[in-house]
């Protein structure tokens, strides 16, 4: 039988240097959120197929890797559903909702949860899109107050500052908005609730197509021209640095509970005093966020100069409780882990700064056991001092061996022959 040496399509083998970067980033994420009182939790890779389908997963539900029932063989007239009762998780949100329902009596309230793990999507593989990739979600469950938003945004900004300052990047922008403001804007302009989702999809493209493009797209959809005119007029009033309270005043009080704006201002004030001064915090009434399950505040973080977000999230008070049939407030941030790793790799990140001293002993095969023992004694002493030490046979192609070790960060590489003096 033939062996296939490449990984399964769309999935990756990670080399030692890949892993150093990935583990370093995971470590900083873990460490930073721990400081804010977040606890790591974990769910299995597989979920019941019933939980994965017919949910909020949207497009992702079409991409489920289904797993065959144990010991089940194909029988005549059988349907696929009878063969597979489980699937690999395609995100960490559905598992979190199940996890919370299953364990809520053993969990603290609020639960501040950090999840880092693989998800699988039977997607068409392409550059930067894989069939197995790491997701990193941070959620606060059971806190309906603005403290949840403040903690999440502050912790995530801090984490990104820590990670990216290693490659000289310190400028980020946090965009904040609220789904209720989005809806109030549309309502005050005269759109009907059924039109909101389509209007938001168009608004979401504003950074690419501009205000004129938004207007054109809305008119092409044959919406009431007066509503479009009024909507564009509202968007026209967005000036850089505009305060939420000021902007919401223009929408009109009948469309929006006044507490939305005052909460937004309170969130921004508190976050401002918690983050690095080089992180900009911006109320952005054009921020949409794709998923329809958001119910309140939404947010996104982008690196200045890059054309995409690297973290995004919001409040979704109606989803977590669905498994247990009760209302449970929830607010979360999803970190684009693979994107972060790709950027760091592109910017030639090295662990040079964090690296322990690395030494190597390359031992000739003719070295007698007594001398070998001396090498190991020396290596042990050096390891106890905190150094990274490797002891390995001296290869015939010693030049290549030394170069490879140097590339891995080994600095003092000693060849040991029978007559080498070790001190």
Binding site as annotated, residues for L-histidine: 91-93, 121, 135, 139, 289, 293-294
How many amino acids of this chain bind a copy of itself (CB under 8 A)? 114
Q: Work out which of 59, 68, 207, 304 binds a copy of itself, going by CB under 8 A.
A: 68
Q: Does residue number 278 form part of the binding site for a copy of itself (CB under 8 A)? A: no
| Residue 300 near residue 180 (C-beta atoms within 8 A) | no
Residue 99 or 247 having the CB closest to a copy of itself: 99
Which residues, numbered 340-359, are part of the site for a copy of itself (CB under 8 A)? 356, 358
Interacting positions 42-61 with a copy of itself (CB under 8 A): 42-48, 50-51, 53-54
Of 174-213, binders to a copy of itself (CB under 8 A) are: none
The interface with a copy of itself within residues 139-178 (CB under 8 A) comprises 143-147, 150-151, 154
In the β-sheet with 279-283, what is the strand arrangement from edge to edge?
A: 39-40, 111-120, 132-141, 330-335, 309-315, 297-303, 172-178, 279-283
The DSSP string of 350-368 is: --GGGPPPEEEEEE-TT--
Residue 89 near residue 43, CB atoms below 8 Å: yes
Cβ-contact 408, 355 below 8 angstroms: no
Indicate whether 283 belongs to the interface with a copy of itself (CB under 8 A): no
By the rule CB under 8 A, 226 interacts with a copy of itself: no
Residue 183 and residue 196: Cα distance in Å, rounded?
A: 7
Among 242, 274, 291, 402, binds a copy of itself (CB under 8 A): 274
Among 92, 98, 152, 344, the residue binding a copy of itself under the rule CB under 8 A is 98
Q: Distance (Å, rounded) from C-alpha 327 to C-alpha 216?
A: 40
Among 58, 78, 192, 243, binds a copy of itself (CB under 8 A): 78
Give the separation between CA 275 and CA 277, rounded to whole angstroms. Answer: 6
Instruction: Select from 103-111, 191-199, 210-218, 234-242 the region that touches a copy of itself (CB under 8 A).
Output: 103-111
Among 207, 278, 404, 414, binds a copy of itself (CB under 8 A): 404
CB 142 within 8 A of CB 108: no
Which residues 298-327 are close enough to bind a copy of itself by CB under 8 A? 322-324
Distance between CA atoms of 173 and 253, rounded to whole angstroms? 29
Residue 174: CA count within 13 A, CB half-sphere:
31
CA distance 296 to 257: 12
110 part of the interface to a copy of itself, by CB under 8 A: yes
Binding residue for a copy of itself (CB under 8 A) from 25, 86, 152, 202?
Answer: 86
- Residue ranges of the annotated binding site are 91-93, 121, 135, 139, 289, 293-294
């Amino acid at each position: 039988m033939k062996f296939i040496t490449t990984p399964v399509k769309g999935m990756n083998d990670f080399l030692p240097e890949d892993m150093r970067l990935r583990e370093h980033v995971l470590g900083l994420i873990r460490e930073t959120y721990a400081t804010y009182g977040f606890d790591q939790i974990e769910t299995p890779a597989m979920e019941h197929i019933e939980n994965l389908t017919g949910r909020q997963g949207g497009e992702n539900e079409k991409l489920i890797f289904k797993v065959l029932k144990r010991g089940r063989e194909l029988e005549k007239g059988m349907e696929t559903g009878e063969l597979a009762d489980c699937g690999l998780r395609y995100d960490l949100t559905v598992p979190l909702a199940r996890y919370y329902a299953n364990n809520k009596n053993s969990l603290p309230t609020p639960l501040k949860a950090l999840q880092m793990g693989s998800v699988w999507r039977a997607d068409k593989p392409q550059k930067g899109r894989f069939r197995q990739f790491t997701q990193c979600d941070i959620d606060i469950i059971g806190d309906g107050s603005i403290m949840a938003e403040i903690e999440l945004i502050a912790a995530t900004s801090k984490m990104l500052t820590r990670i990216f300052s290693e490659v000289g990047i310190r400028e980020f922008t946090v965009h904040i908005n609220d789904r209720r403001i989005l809806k109030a804007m549309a309502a005050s302009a005269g759109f009907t609730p059924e039109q909101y989702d389509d209007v938001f999809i168009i608004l979401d493209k504003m950074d690419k197509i501009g205000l004129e493009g938004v207007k054109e797209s809305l008119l092409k959809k044959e919406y009431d021209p007066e509503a479009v005119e009024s909507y564009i007029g509202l968007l026209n009033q967005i000036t850089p640095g505009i305060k939420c309270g000021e902007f919401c005043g223009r929408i009109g009080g009948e469309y929006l509970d006044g507490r939305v704006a005052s909460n937004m201002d309170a969130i921004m004030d508190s976050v401002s005093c918690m983050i690095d001064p080089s992180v900009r915090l911006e109320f952005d009434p054009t921020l949409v966020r794709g998923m329809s399950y958001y119910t309140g505040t939404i947010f996104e973080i982008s690196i200045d100069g890059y054309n995409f977000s690297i973290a995004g999230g919001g409040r979704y008070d109606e989803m977590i409780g669905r498994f247990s049939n009760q209302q449970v407030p929830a607010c979360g941030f999803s970190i684009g882990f693979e994107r972060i790793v790709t950027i760091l790799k592109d910017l030639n990140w090295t662990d040079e700064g964090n690296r322990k001293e690395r030494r190597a002993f390359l031992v000739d095969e003719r070295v007698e056991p007594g001398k070998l023992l001396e090498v190991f004694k020396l290596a042990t002493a050096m390891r106890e001092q905190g150094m990274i030490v490797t002891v390995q046979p001296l290869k015939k192609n010693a030049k290549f061996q030394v170069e490879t070790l140097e590339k891995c960060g080994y600095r003092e590489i000693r060849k040991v022959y029978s007559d080498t003096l070790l001190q």
